[in-house]
Amino acid sequence: MEVLGLYNYFVFAVLLMVGLYCILARTNIIKSLIGLTIFQAAVFLLYISMDKIDGGTAPIILEGVEDQVFANPLPQVLILTAIVVGISTTALALAVTVRIKEAYGTIEEDKIQEMDRET
Amino acid sequence: MDLLLDIASAVLLLTGGFLVFVGGVGVMRMPEFFTRMHAASVTDTGGAALILAGLMLQGGLTLVPLKLAAIFLFLFLTSPTASYALANAALLSGVATACRNQTGKQLPEDRMDPPSAPNSENSLAAEAPAPKTVARKSAKKAAPKRPTKKAAKKPAKKSAKKAARKKS
Amino acid sequence: MITIVFSLFLLTMLVIVAVAILRTDNLFTAVMLSGIFSLIMAANFFILDAADVALTEAVIGAGISTVLFLSALALTAEYDRSPPVGTWVPLLTSSALGGVIIFATFQAPRLGDPNAIVHKHVAPWYLERTPELIDVPNVVTAVLASFRGYDTLGEVFVVFIACIGVMSLLGRVRPRRDSIEEGEFEKRSDNLRHHLIPRVVGKMLVPFIVLFGLYVQFHGDFGPGGGFQAGALIAAGVILYALVEGGPRGRELVPEWFSSMLVALGALTYTAVGVVSMMRGGRFLDYSALSHDPIHGQHMGILIIEAGVGMTVAGVMITIFHAFSRRGIR
């Protein structure tokens, strides 16, 4: 039971590993960006795991219902905005990728470096 | 009365769950793409409808059944559309069917990934697209040219790209 | 108990999908799998009692993010051609990171522990004081819009700047329409005109998606929702229309000048609320000064700034999508 309570953190660690491996091992820029979104999602999972409280519900206070336990609203607020910011920055990265493709004709990092060395 | 409702909703939920399970098994076990889609559609139609009906009975006389009905309507519109788009795309890009498998020699290569061990992944990945290209080419020969632009443009472009890649 | 079972199942699915994304070399497959990943993540957030976040992740992660990745793929490449060399260093690095984190988690409080430090800090104060200070049922909205309004203002401006970045990288390149004949232009555009069923159903769904977006926007004080989710939903509706009818038609529905104006107008509305509350004798973004009754002022302030956030987010998403889709038909 004690270990099950830490399962979220284990999944967080594994997702971080997968994301980081994807960023480092793949030279394709779009694949690296997908790895980055996995990495990001792992951090979101960590924060949202923190807000859970035993017997709690979503933090919406209903009139006339007493003795409710609410989940922690603060991590939710942080992640809510972080998701939107994350997609905007990912879109920016994708825009840069598109420009790289137009300039170099490829989105493989090693080929781009080769081209840079040649010139 | 409550007991009756509970039993009815339990029966509906269990039947729906069973259909979803059957759909899942079908997707795993069916031989090729179109029969797999057929199996998956069991989940979309029967499974979803029965589970939503069972939940509606649990909701009682509140707004909940209405919302569930809206969800059902949404699924009723979108899932056949998605199936249509999927089947259409598969047909146009030339996924091999079982019939063709019996007459022709090509094995259906419609899996997403080649099965490979994690450490030899990259070496296999380089070889992977080759059989797909062959399957697509043979399908293109077999099927008459479609009037849509996707059929005219997409496979041609892809095979051309692959040919270029092979040369290099 | 049943939530734990669900949670374990979904978390395991997350890991499986992530590994599948890592292993495939087809970028199209990877993008579709990352959409599935986001949907599972949204279900997970819902189980963890974060309804607002689940809604956001479902709309943005599974919807808009997938579309943006696909439109970038259409402009770049379909296959990942990473060379097979040099996989040892990344493997070692990521294993080291994972090992350290797993080692550290044994010190962490278990999931749902009521005595964890996060539950003892400011959160009880927010939950306790929200009914008397702000009086909206959804505490997440209250914290987002009022208690931590500065934070949200900053986030809105980050989104705004990202949009400017995308526009300056991809925008304002005129499609060479004059050199291509009209019919050719229509043929080359990226629509589904020849696919009747997706087109009809897609167009039928657009008004309902936008309506739901508006509901989420203005119901955000009472239930899960708010400006971020609503903006993304409305943008998703417009993007669906553009996907079904082709980029040019999408740009006719919501012209680029309009979407980029929405971006600026939303950020401006948000800041203006702050300035007005200063002029009425309060502090920056202190909504209580907006009206004679502080609680009424809070309600008004939250409504207006949520509208501003919604405008900015919707505008940003639509503008970014337009920038990508227009790049494709040069």
For residue C215, name the pLDDT band (cuts at 50, 70, 90).
very high
The pTM is what? 0.82
- Residue C114 is predicted with a pLDDT of 82
- Residue C266 is predicted with a pLDDT of 93
Q: Is the pLDDT of residue C210 over 70?
A: yes
pLDDT, mean of residues C213-229: 88
Mapped onto helix, strand or coil, the DSSP state of residue C113 is: coil
Q: Which of A1, A81, A109 is the mutation pick for testing C, counting most C CBs within 10 A?
A: A81
Which residues in chain B touch residue C31, judged by CB atoms under 8 angstroms apart? Answer: none
Last residue of a domain, one of C56, C80, C104: C80
Q: What is the distance between the alpha carbons of residues C314 and C217, in angstroms, rounded to a whole number?
A: 11
Instruction: Kindly report, residue by residue over B137-161, the tens digit of the pLDDT.
Output: 444 444 443 443 333 344 444 444 4
Q: Is residue C104 part of a domain?
A: no
- Residue B156 is predicted with a pLDDT of 40
* The token pair that represents C106 in the structure block: 């044994």
Q: What is the distance between the alpha carbons of residues B83 and B106, in angstroms, rounded to a whole number?
A: 25
Q: What is the DSSP letter of B62?
A: S
Residue A104 at interface with chain C, using a CB cutoff of 8 Å? no
Q: What is the distance between the alpha carbons of residues A81 and B108, in angstroms, rounded to a whole number?
A: 45
Do residues C193 and C307 both lie within one domain? yes
- Residue B91 is predicted with a pLDDT of 83
Do residues C75 and C120 both lie within one domain? no
Q: Is residue C91 part of a domain?
A: no
Choose between B87 and A1: higher pLDDT.
B87
CB-count burial class (<10 Å; 0-12, 13-18, 19+) for C74:
middle
Does the distance separating the beta carbons of B77 and C194 come in below 8 Å?
A: no
Residue of C6, C143, C109, C54 lying closest to A54 (CA atoms): C109
Q: What is the distance between the alpha carbons of residues C1 and A41, in angstroms, rounded to a whole number?
A: 25
- Residue C85 is predicted with a pLDDT of 55
Q: Is residue C12 part of a domain?
A: yes
One pLDDT digit (tens) per residue for chain A, 119 residues: 567 778 888 999 999 999 999 888 888 889 999 999 999 999 999 999 888 888 888 888 877 777 788 888 889 999 999 999 999 999 999 999 998 988 888 888 888 888 888 87
Choose between B168 and C292: higher pLDDT.
C292
Please tell me the total number of residues recorded for chain A in this structure.
Answer: 119
Does the distance separating the beta carbons of B118 and C195 come in below 8 Å?
A: no
Smallest Cα distance from C82 to chain A, Å: 5
DSSP assignment string, C64-83: IHHHHHHHHHHHS-SB----
Side-chain-side CA neighbours of C162 within 13 Å: the count stands at 26
Which residues in chain A touch residue C327, judged by CB atoms under 8 angstroms apart? Answer: 98
Instruction: Kindly report, residue by residue over C73-112, the tens digit of the pLDDT.
Output: 888 877 777 666 567 888 898 899 999 998 988 888 888 8
Q: Is residue C103 part of a domain?
A: no
Mapped onto helix, strand or coil, the DSSP state of residue C279 is: helix
- Residue C160 is predicted with a pLDDT of 93
**Cβ atoms of residues C326 and A95 within 8 Å:** no
Nearest by CB to residue B78, choosing from C25, C87, C201, is C201
Last residue of a domain, one of C80, C95, C129: C80
- Residue B133 is predicted with a pLDDT of 40
Chain centroid to CA B19: how far? 16
For residue C190, name the pLDDT band (cuts at 50, 70, 90).
low
Do residues C170 and C246 both lie within one domain? yes
C neighbours by CB contacts (3+ pairs under 8 Å): A, B
One-letter amino acid for residue C132 of the chain: E
The domain of C285 spans 114-330
Residue C251 at interface with chain A, using a CB cutoff of 8 Å? no
Alpha-helical segments (H) within C180-330: 182-188, 196-218, 227-245, 247-253, 256-279, 294-328
Three-state secondary structure of chain A: CCCHHHHHHHHHHHHHHHHHHHHHHCCEHHHHHHHHHHHHHHHHHHHHHHHCECCCECCECCCCCCCCCECCHHHHHHHHHHHHHHHHHHHHHHHHHHHHHHHHCCCEHHHHHHHHHHC
Which residue's structure tokens are 């309507």? B73
Q: What is the distance between the alpha carbons of residues C211 and C215, in angstroms, rounded to a whole number?
A: 6
Residue of C158, C70, C109 lying closest to A8 (CA atoms): C109
Split into its structural domains, chain C has a count of: 2
- Residue A104 is predicted with a pLDDT of 87
One-letter amino acid for residue C176 of the chain: R
Which residues in chain C touch residue A108, judged by CB atoms under 8 angstroms apart? Answer: 81-82
Does the distance separating the beta carbons of C155 and A20 come in below 8 Å?
A: no
**Cβ atoms of residues C247 and C326 within 8 Å:** yes
Chain centroid to CA B157: how far? 24
Q: What is the distance between the alpha carbons of residues C172 and C120, in angstroms, rounded to a whole number?
A: 51
Say how many CB pairs under 8 Å bridge B and C: 47
Q: In terms of CA atoms, which chain C residue is nearest residue B151? A: C194
- Residue B126 is predicted with a pLDDT of 39
Which residues in chain A touch residue C223, judged by CB atoms under 8 angstroms apart? Answer: 60
* The token pair that represents B3 in the structure block: 């007991």
- Residue C159 is predicted with a pLDDT of 93
Q: What is the distance between the alpha carbons of residues C144 and C128, in angstroms, rounded to a whole number?
A: 16
Q: Is residue C132 part of a domain?
A: yes
Nearest by CB to residue B149, choosing from C29, C80, C194, is C194
Do residues C139 and C269 both lie within one domain? yes
Side-chain-side CA neighbours of B18 within 13 Å: the count stands at 6
Strand-pair partners of A70: A57
- Residue A102 is predicted with a pLDDT of 86
Instruction: Kindly report, residue by residue over C103-142, the tens digit of the pLDDT.
Output: 988 888 888 888 888 888 888 888 888 888 888 888 888 8
Q: Is the pLDDT of residue C1 over 60?
A: yes
Q: Is residue C94 part of a domain?
A: no
Q: What is the distance between the alpha carbons of residues A113 and A101, in angstroms, rounded to a whole number?
A: 13
Q: What is the distance between the alpha carbons of residues C324 and A102, in angstroms, rounded to a whole number?
A: 13
Strand-pair partners of C79: C26
Q: What is the distance between the alpha carbons of residues B16 and C270, in angstroms, rounded to a whole number?
A: 47
Q: Which of C25, C39, C200, C215 is the mutation pick for testing B, counting most B CBs within 10 A?
A: C25
Q: Is the pLDDT of residue C308 over 50?
A: yes
- Residue C75 is predicted with a pLDDT of 84
Q: Which residues, at least 6 apart from A53, have a Cβ–Cβ distance to it below 8 Å?
A: A69, A70, A71, A72, C49, C112, C113, C114, C119
Which domains does chain A carry? 4-52+71-118 (1.10.287.3510)
Q: What is the ipTM, given to two decimal places?
A: 0.93
Cα distances (angstroms) measured from residue A64 to each of A61, A67, A68, C235: 9, 10, 10, 37
Helix C256-279 vs helix C294-328: crossing angle, to nearest 10: 160
Q: Is residue C95 part of a domain?
A: no
Nearest by CB to residue B113, choosing from C23, C83, C84, is C23
Does the distance separating the beta carbons of A38 and C118 come in below 8 Å?
A: no
Q: Which of residues 57-86 of A touch C (CB under 8 A)?
A: 57-63, 69-77, 79-85
Q: What is the distance between the alpha carbons of residues A11 and C13, in angstroms, rounded to a whole number?
A: 10
The rounded mean pLDDT for chain C is 85
Instruction: Kindly report, residue by residue over C251-279, the tens digit of the pLDDT.
Output: 888 888 898 899 999 999 999 999 998 88
Residue of A84, B59, A54 lying closest to C49 (CA atoms): A54
Last residue of a domain, one of C80, C99, C124: C80
Do residues C129 and C183 both lie within one domain? yes
Q: In terms of CA atoms, which chain A residue is nearest residue C56? A: A80
Do residues C123 and C266 both lie within one domain? yes
For residue C193, name the pLDDT band (cuts at 50, 70, 90).
low
Alpha-helical segments (H) within chain B: 2-29, 33-42, 48-59, 64-93, 98-103, 121-127, 129-142, 149-167
Question: From the DSSP assignment, how many helices (H) and strands (E) are in chain C?
Answer: 14, 0
For residue C197, name the pLDDT band (cuts at 50, 70, 90).
confident
Smallest Cα distance from B81 to chain C, Å: 6
- Residue C270 is predicted with a pLDDT of 92
Does the distance separating the beta carbons of C83 and B118 come in below 8 Å?
A: no
Which residues in chain C touch residue A25, judged by CB atoms under 8 angstroms apart? Answer: 82, 86-87, 90-91
Smallest Cα distance from B122 to chain C, Å: 5
- Residue B139 is predicted with a pLDDT of 41
Helix B2-29 vs helix B33-42: crossing angle, to nearest 10: 170
Q: What is the DSSP letter of C61?
A: I
Q: Is the pLDDT of residue B129 over 50?
A: no
Which residue's structure tokens are 């500065």? C150
- Residue C329 is predicted with a pLDDT of 59
Do residues C32 and C154 both lie within one domain? no
Instruction: Kindly report, residue by residue over B24-39, the tens digit of the pLDDT.
Output: 898 888 888 888 888 8
B109: left (phi over 0), alpha (psi -120 to 50) or beta: beta
* The token pair that represents C224 in the structure block: 């899960």
Q: What is the distance between the alpha carbons of residues C83 and A111, in angstroms, rounded to a whole number?
A: 10
Q: What is the distance between the alpha carbons of residues B95 and B111, in angstroms, rounded to a whole number?
A: 10
**Cβ atoms of residues B137 and B122 within 8 Å:** no
Choose between B110 and C59: higher pLDDT.
C59
Residue A110 at interface with chain C, using a CB cutoff of 8 Å? yes
Instruction: Kindly report, residue by residue over C19-51, the tens digit of the pLDDT.
Output: 999 888 888 999 999 999 999 999 999 988 888
CB atoms within 10 A of CB C48: 28
Q: Which of residues 75-134 of C touch A (CB under 8 A)?
A: 75-77, 80-83, 86-87, 89-91, 93-95, 97-98, 101-102, 105-106, 108, 110-114, 116, 118-119, 122-123, 126-127, 130-131
* The token pair that represents A80 in the structure block: 């809510």
Q: Is residue C269 part of a domain?
A: yes
